[in-house]
Amino acid sequence: MNIKTVSTKPFSDQKPGTSGLRKAVPVFQQPHYLENFIQSIFDSLPGCEGQTLVLGGDGRYYNRIAIQTILKMAAANGIGEILVGCGGILSTPAASWIIRKNQAFGGIILSASHNPGGPNGDLGVKYNVTNGGPAPEKVTEAIYARTKAIDSYKILAAADVNLDQVGSFKLGTMSVEVIDSVEPYVELMESLFDFDKIKALLTSGNFKMCMDSLHAVTGPYAHALFEQRLGAPAGTVVNGTPKEDFGGGHPDPNLVYAHDLVEILFGDDAPDFGAASDGDGDRNMVLGRQFFVNPSDSLAVLTANAHLIPAYSQGLAGVARSMPTSAAVDRVAAALGIDCYETPTGWKFFGNLLDAGKATLCGEESFGTGSNHVREKDGLWAVLFWLNIIAARGESVEQIVRSHWQKYGKNFYSRHDYEEVDSAKARELIEGLLALIPEMKGKQFGNYEVEYSDDFSYTDPVDGSVSKNQGIRIGFTDGSRLVFRLSGTGTKGATLRVYFESYEPDASKHDVDTQKALAPLINLAEEIAQIKQFTQREFPTVIT
């Protein structure tokens, strides 16, 4: 083997965020930049020599080049075997499943999730551990520490591997298995849901759905699931061919960036059901005819109807939600007599709860839901869950949600995103709020009295680890909430997220427009935080 040891110097900006290292493509294209981070991963994983790793990504620009580099570095670092998705394609939930199914040591996933792609778009690299979930903070901190001291990396001088053909290859002494990216995941979904019932729905002639894959990774999976295995007509899946630049679009399944799907579902002769997934396939948006399902409500509805799904018919161990996610699922958990855990944002925090058997379903307001079948959120799993519920209940999306509100009350909920804000100004806004926290309790703002205010801290009930500074909460005596967070998923400037929530038990008031219902809280957030002043924006970039 011709292993090269290449001298290098540290980069100062390789600290992983909640989902790995995300940067613009030109940053990763700098000499040694990708290699430094990958070598830091290998250097931080004692015992990885001779082990099996999983490798793949969402098909965005530079993924295939990065995969070839990672394969050669893995061979040089003594990895025993790599399982890589055919074409370099592997959705994040599928990668999690393949790690678990093969009892692999871990996996490297190349994705910047819902961020734009292309030569001037974003790229991401994250490491997932043996349980299939994102690396916990102790691992990412070790990787970051290594990036600050690295002085060389190892790489095998060898020809590229043919990623477009399923089969076995050798790279030095390392085995490379190019695997079917789709079939193992389809088989997993078939083991969880009642495919016969869903197929009967999709082939009845009375039900029409539209699945928008946004030219991202779920296209091949969606074609295989809905049009091939479940019998939906050709054309059910739109934008189903993965493209390096996501067709010039923004692969984020929300009301702004998935606007084509929204227009279809709110247009004339709309289908009964619509869904979209993101760049790497872990997020989902669900729509009924002329009806949008808020992700917080979606988690609550799935929890309330889990008994209809074969895999969850024996009951749920518990549920978990991220702190900014609405408390809608808390009410369902209370009714079912199961625990509901409130965690920081970031799927890795759900991993310990799932591994310990404390939770079965998990969800975040940022269009992510999942269960104990993998250790990532899972967009197509959520779509199948909804279809299974619709098939079992024989009701529309809107009927199911309105029935849920009738029983549990409605949590009016919205998130306002201010993207690419000046980082210093965004931090100044947060620091101003932090300074107010000690004196907020008992303060009166019009009809609102502050019940509590804090910077959310989480103590993991499984391992006792503590995660501080997870977002500023201001709670009021009527159950309303304001939450302020700086997101860790962007690559330019800062993204300020502001969350608004109020609870309404009276069904006669459930038809009020969400932004109108939340207007007093929206105005109050401006009064307290001076958002317009600090962001220099009159309106949010995205409202969901």
What mean pLDDT do residues 353-369 have?
Answer: 96
Point out the domain boundary residue: 181, 215, 250: 181
**For 464-479, what is the HEC assignment?**
CCEECCCCEEEEECCC
What mean pLDDT do residues 477-481 have?
Answer: 93
For the beta carbon of residue 336, count every other beta carbon within 10 angstroms: 17
Nearest to 241 by CA among 230, 255, 251, 252: 251
pLDDT band at 346 (very low <50, low <70, confident <90, very high): confident
Say if residue 8 is in the same domain as residue 61. yes
Residue 491 has a pLDDT of: 56
Q: Cα(350)–Cα(375) distance, rounded to whole angstroms?
A: 8
Point out the domain boundary residue: 383, 407, 431: 407
Nearest to 496 by CA among 478, 483, 506, 509: 483
The parent domain of residue 458 ranges over 410-543
Query: What stretches of 204-313 adopt beta strand conformation (E)?
Result: 209-212, 237-238, 273-277, 284-288, 291-293
pLDDT band at 256 (very low <50, low <70, confident <90, very high): confident
Residue type (1 letter), 239: N
Say if residue 40 is in the same domain as residue 105. yes
Active site residue 113: yes
Choice between 106 and 490, residue whose per-residue pLDDT is larger? 106
What mean pLDDT do residues 487-497 have?
Answer: 74
What mean pLDDT do residues 501-527 have?
Answer: 95
What mean pLDDT do residues 454-473 have?
Answer: 93
Say if residue 472 is in the same domain as residue 522. yes
Say if residue 352 is in the same domain as residue 465. no
Residue 1 has a pLDDT of: 75
Say if residue 345 is in the same domain as residue 472. no
Q: Cα(477)–Cα(448) distance, rounded to whole angstroms?
A: 7
Say if residue 402 is in the same domain as residue 416. no
Say if residue 51's pLDDT is above 90. yes
Say if residue 490 is in the same domain as residue 433. yes
Say if residue 24 is in the same domain as residue 167. yes
Say if residue 87 is in the same domain as residue 167. yes
Point out the domain boundary residue: 126, 150, 181: 181
Residues 205-230 pLDDT 10s: 999 999 999 999 999 999 999 999 99
Residues 96-153 pLDDT 10s: 999 999 999 999 999 998 899 999 999 999 999 999 999 988 899 999 999 999 999 9
Residues 377-408 pLDDT 10s: 999 999 999 999 999 999 999 999 999 999 99
Q: What is the CATH number of the domain that holds 109?
A: 3.40.120.10
Say if residue 488's pLDDT is above 70. no
Residues 230-239 pLDDT 10s: 999 999 999 9
Say if residue 517's pLDDT is above 70. yes
Residue 130 has a pLDDT of: 96
Say if residue 137 is in the same domain as residue 175. yes
Q: CB burial class (10 A; 0-12, 13-18, 19+) of residue 114? A: buried
Q: Cα(193)–Cα(198) distance, rounded to whole angstroms?
A: 8
Q: Which of these is catalytic: 40, 111, 113, 322?
A: 113
Say if residue 530's pLDDT is above 90. yes
Q: What is the CATH number of the domain that holds 448?
A: 3.30.310.50
Say if residue 7 is in the same domain as residue 150. yes
Per the structure, how many domains does the chain have?
3
